Amino acid sequence: MKVAIIMGSKSDWPTMKLAADMLDHFGIDYETKVVSAHRTPQLLADFASSAHDNGFKVIIAGAGGAAHLPGMTAAFTSLPVLGVPVQSKALKGMDSLLSIVQMPKGVAVGTLAIGEAGAANAGLLAAQILATSDDALMAKIDTFRQNQTDTVLANPDPSES
Ligand code: RP5
């Protein structure tokens, strides 16, 4: 497994599935797991501190509300951690975003957008990180981006479907 997709609760899966879908698109191996900073803190410590030895290259961590999972994961590993603020009911994900993005200097989390766009882009960014040492994967990402550009340019009229 090259990428770990962890999340604070099963309820995060409909959002975090978009990260998995993106990795599927590029044929990248990944593992998905519920790891909660608050409900299973020892599991988080064990998982994050052994992630490098277990072969992971990138960790995507999604959580909502008081979203400490990405930051605490980054505290236990030097692997790149991509944080996805899951949209919360009470504060629409602003709580998640601010909990994840304001890391203290010296411990980095790459924070993505709130919700599904952030999850999909976390998968894309993980692929781009892996592609720095994988030319075939870089070519797949170039193709993905070109297809996206071509689709927009081929459909310039916003009133047509
Ligand atoms: C966080 O609390 C999870 O990441 C989730 O977004 C939120 C709510 O969790 P549940 O109460 O739905 O399990 O830890």
Residue with tokens 């996206």: 148
DSSP state, 88? P
Q: For the chain, 161 residues long, give each residue's pLDDT as a single digit of tens.
A: 699 999 999 999 999 999 999 999 999 999 999 999 999 999 999 999 999 999 999 999 999 999 999 999 999 999 999 999 999 999 999 999 999 999 999 999 999 999 999 999 999 999 999 999 999 999 999 999 999 999 999 999 999 87
Nearest residue CA, atom 7 of ligand 1? Answer: 64
Angle at CA 45, nearest 5°, toward 40 and 47? 90
Report pLDDT for 56: 98
Nearest residue CA, atom 5 of ligand 1? Answer: 64
CB 20 within 8 A of CB 30: yes
Beta strands in 8-100 (DSSP E): 30-34, 58-64, 81-86
CB 61 within 8 A of CB 7: yes
Domain residue extents for the chain: 3-134
- Classified by CATH at the fold level, domain 3-134 comes out as Rossmann fold (3.40.50)
| Lookup: tokens for 111 | 């924070």
Residue type at position 127: A
Report pLDDT for 1: 65
**61: CA distance to ligand 1 center in Å?**
13
**27: CA distance to ligand 1 center in Å?**
29
